[in-house]
Amino acid sequence: MKIFQEFLRKKNLHIYIYNIIEKRVRENKKLENNMKKFLRFSVCLVFVLAVCFTSGCKSPSGSSGSGDSYPTYNVSWYEAIMYCNKRSLQEHLTPCYKIKMANNTSAYSTDPDDWGTIPNSSGDSRWNGVICDFMADGYRLLTEAEWEYAARGGTILSTDQYSGTNDISEVKKYAWYDFNSNGVSHEIKTRLPNALYLYDMTGNVDEWCWDWYDTITTSTPSTGVPEPNMNQRVLRGGHFAYSATRVNHRSFSGPAGFDPCTGFRVCRSAQ
C-alpha cells in the first residue's frame, strides 16, 4: 500500500467522475466545500447500466441480477473500451481510444465500427495495441491510480482499508460481498457511499481499469506500465462472491475474459 500511495502522491490526479444522471464534479480543492452539493444525487461512477444502449447488448439479465438498476456484468475489457467510444461519439465528444482498422492495419480509427469483431482471445495484438488519448473529452476507463484515488474518497492519505470505512464490522453497510450478497449482484445505490459519495467501490462487481497488470513502483507512469510482462488487464474493487476487498487489492484478467462478477465504470478527463 505504501508503494501505491507514494505512486499516487507523485501524480497530479484530477478526473471528472460521471454518475448515471450525468452530474459531474472535479476532484480538486474547490470540491472540499461543495462536494455534497454536487454529489448528493450521485449514484456512482458509471457502472455502466445497460452497457450497451450504444453497443448492442441488453441490460443485465440473469441469475446474478436483472434490470436497468443493476451494474452491467459479463462484459470484457474489449467491450468496455468499445462502449466508451460509442457513447462518446453518440454524445458528440472526442473518443479516447483508437485501434488499427480491421481492413487497413496501417491506419488507426476511433470509430468502433472500423475495429472489426470483438476478439474472443486475449492475445489479439491489434486490439491490445489500443492507444488512449487522455486529453480527449470522451468517456474512458479509469486508470488504476485514478480508481484507487476515488475509492479512498479523494485523498491518498486515507487510512480506510475499504471504500468508506476502516472497520471490517461496518463493511456490510458499504458493500455487497460474500457475507451479505446471497451470491448475486445488487442494485446500485443500495449500500452507503464513500467520502466522495461514490457507491460500490468495494464489492458488487469487479471493475475493469485501463492498466495492464504488472508490478507497481514509484516510477510507474500514472497511466500504468507501457509494456506488460503478462497479457492481463487490471480489475479493482472485488465482487459479490468474494470476501470484503481492501481498496489496495489488485486483481487481473485477460481482456477478452468476462463473467457475472465483472463490470466497469467510466470517467472523463478534467479539462
Query: How many C-beta atoms lie closer than 10 Å to residue 122's C-beta?
Result: 18
Query: Tell me, what's the pLDDT at 134?
Result: 92
Which one, of 196, 242, 163, 205, lies nearest residue 34 by Cα?
196
Helix 2-9, helix 144-151: angle, nearest 10: 100
pLDDT at 62: 62
Question: According to the model, what pLDDT value does residue 153 have?
Answer: 87
Q: What are the cell numbers at 131?
A: 492507444
Residues in the chain, total: 271
The dihedral sign for the CA sequence 169, 173, 177, 181? positive
Identity at 95, one-letter amino acid code: P
Report DSSP letters for 223-242, one per residue: T--SS-SSS-EEEES--TTS
Identify the pLDDT of residue 43: 26
DSSP states along 162-213 = BTTBS-GGGHHHH---TTTSTTS---TTSS---TTS---SSSSSEEEEEEEP
Rounded CA-CA distance 9/151 in Å is: 15
Quote the pLDDT of residue 220: 84
Rounded CA separation 227/224 (Å): 9
Averaged in consecutive runs of 10 residues, what is the pLDDT profile of the chain (271 residues)?
47 37 32 34 35 44 69 90 93 96 93 96 94 93 90 80 93 94 90 90 94 87 81 94 91 94 87 61
Amino acid at site 40: R
Q: Hunting for cell 475509492 — which residue is that?
A: 151
Q: What is the pLDDT of residue 224?
A: 86
Residues 42, 19: contact at Cβ < 8 Å? Answer: yes
E strand or H helix that includes residue 97:
strand 97-101
